[in-house]
Amino acid sequence: MGMISDAQIEKVRESSDIVEVIGSFVKLMKRGHNYVALCPFHSEDTPSFNVSPDKQFYHCFGCGQGGNVITFVMNHEKMGFVEAIRYLADRAGIVIKEKSPADSAAPDVKDRICYANKIALEYFVKSLSGTSGIKAVNYLKSRKITSAVCKEFSIGYTPDKPDGLIRFASEKGISPEVLTAAGLSSKFDNGYCDFFRGRLMFPISNLSGRVVAFAGRALREQEPSKYINTPDTPIYHKGSQLFGLNLTKDHIKRQKRALVVEGYTDFISLYSSGIKYVVCSSGTAFTSSQASLLSRFTDNVVTLFDGDAAGLNAAERSVGELLSKGVEVLICLLPEGEDPDSFVKSKGAEELENFVANAVSYPQFKKMTIGKSLRQLSVMEREKLVQEIGGVINRIGDPLRKKLFTDQVEAIFDFPISSFLNTNPKEKRKLEELEGGVSNRVMLEREFLSLLAQSGSRIAEVSQAIAVECFTDPGCRIVYEKMIEEYSRLGSLELGKWIKMNVDPRITETLAGMDKVRWAMMPAAEIFEDYVKRFRNDQNKTLLRDIKDEIVAAEKQGDALKASDLQKRYLRILAGGASR
């Protein structure tokens, strides 16, 4: 292969245990003789990624990826062969003698891009301490970023010159073509120029700690974009990296949770203050690949965003992505005007940890941001809210988890959101299996009847509010009818004899189902109210749909008065008022 001898490659391979290496990127679980994990190369819910310590091989039965420790590092870290060998050698403490990969003989463009980034880092760090770096140094001072921190994170500066890096790199044997492939320079008709100019530079590393890209912060106020990033290259896609994860992944694993912040300086401040289970999403949007990357190290995430509108939006969008990867998310919003960086600097790490301890679940977060109860909202606001929450709920793949989350939403909002969601039939079936064969709806009806059987005196009142037709299950309908009839005839509820005599399978099944319902304590009046409300809501849902159709028809005919009357009725029903 020319650059590294076969003997050296063999030595590196032998000194790198596949379980140990892969285990530093993926959460491995021991199963029998082998290890399994959720595959890092494709999206899945059950682990089909296998690692064999005996054969020193990995294989995924889901997507077919497989190989040895070297191929894993190449595929996972998007490294060329030479870069992968160098990385593993570093790890194992082996010194490799090789020629510069910038040589034209270098086999892989990825290796050359990696090398270009390394040289660029040298240039940026050197420039920060040079005379032109004074403005950057002053900015860092104003943000209370010490020189020790600059050193630890290799923060640099790029002078406002068209070809500073191009000249520096060419002295190291890197051509402008390679620099452009690395996203560090741009090609114009009459030549090349530096991509980053006059900016503070933050190097971005992949999981193995290699610099793969940069983020440049503008130092002039009038600059159109505050931050620009290296464009996508063969080794870097902005949406799939998490800044700082290479430094914090072990802390995150150990503490079994991660704190997500938006900004590079937020990350740096928290990390330097001793909060090490942190990671940075580099901007507002949290992408699906970032979520699956993070889910490999923990399934507990707290998002810590600014207390402004942008922070609110970012939190909103992160939640769906993380929940869809099976990660539990709590949301922590800072007081308005604060960001994690300013907060930790003015109040300290302990105070921030205390603040984070008060993070809330998504439904609680929604309730807080709305600031009033659901029934005080307008129709439009309420519809929007149901859509937003429904959108998040529908991202949750696991049916049991989905149900628990939905229950939580309903409890917090006192609103039967599940009846407004489109459950796809396959998931519904799964859920029904979990609950012992009957649908949610039938369960609900049986629960209600069981409750009613215990508080017979309420029948008169309930029969006024809930029509027999509300029950979708034939067995439940018959039992409900029988209850009403018994009560109006006897003034009390005595189903004993009727129950014993009954052979209709629909009824015996319903009664058995009712009997299975276990109440933790004697049902309080409140629980009863909840069920009545719930049934009323379902009843109203059908009614509302009809009224909506009527409104549309009235508007088509130009009958504004009728439409407005219908609209009022619609609102009244939605607010939980009379249905007629």
| Residue whose CB is less far from Zn ion, 39 or 331 | 39
Write out the residues near Zn ion by the rule CB under 5 A.
Answer: 39, 41-42, 60, 62-63
β-pairing, 258-261 with 300-305?
parallel
Taking the chain, what is the end-to-end CA distance rounded to the nearest angstrom?
A: 84
Residues 1, 83 contacting (CB under 8 angstroms): no
Which contiguous run of DSSP H or E holds residue 335? none
In angstroms, give the least distance from the CB of 502 to Zn ion. 55
Q: Which residues of 149-161 are buried (b: 16+ CB within 10 A; e: fewer)?
A: bbeebbbbbbbee
401: left (phi over 0), alpha (psi -120 to 50) or beta: alpha
Of the two residues 63 and 484, which places its CB atom closer to Zn ion in the complex? 63
Q: How far is the CB of 25 from Zn ion (least distance, A)?
A: 14
Indicate the residue type of 212. Answer: V
CB of 294 to Zn ion, least distance (A): 18
Q: Give the nearest distance from C-beta 546 to Zn ion in angstroms.
A: 49
Q: CA angle, 391 as apex, 278 and 573 as ends, to 5°? A: 130
Name the residue nearer to Zn ion (CB basis): 60 or 329. 60
Separation CA 438–CA 233 (nearest Å): 52
- Helix (H) or strand (E) holding 287, with range, is none
| Shorter beta-carbon distance to Zn ion: residue 63 or 121 | 63
Nearer to Zn ion, 46 or 142 (CB): 46
What are the helix (H) ranges across 340-466? 340-347, 349-356, 362-370, 379-393, 399-413, 425-434, 440-454, 459-465
Q: How far is the CB of 292 from Zn ion (least distance, A)?
A: 12
To the nearest 10 degrees (0 to 180), the angle between helices 379-393 and 399-413 is: 160
CB atoms within 10 A of CB 44: 15
Q: Work out how close the CB of 297 gets to Zn ion at its nearest, in angstroms, rounded to a whole number.
A: 18
Long-range contacts of 480-488 (CB under 8 A, 24+ apart): 480/449, 480/452, 483/449, 483/452, 483/453, 483/456, 483/459, 484/459, 487/456, 487/459, 487/460, 488/460
Q: Cβ of residue 38: shortest distance to Zn ion, in angstroms?
A: 9
- Shortest distance in whole angstroms from residue 45 CB to Zn ion: 12
CB closer to Zn ion out of 62 and 390: 62
Phi, psi of 206 (to 5 degrees): -85, -175
Q: Which is nearer to Zn ion, 68 or 175 (CB)?
A: 68
Encoding tokens for residue 214? 């940069």
What one-letter code names the amino acid at 58? Answer: Y
Nearer to Zn ion, 63 or 495 (CB): 63
Q: Which C-beta is closer to Zn ion: that of 76 or that of 366?
A: 76
Q: Least distance (Å) from Zn ion to the CB of residue 60?
A: 3
Q: Which CB, 63 or 377, lies closer to Zn ion?
A: 63
Q: What is the chain's length?
A: 580
At 260, give phi and psi (nearest 5°). Answer: -100, 125
Compute the least distance from the CB of residue 42 to Zn ion, in Å.
4
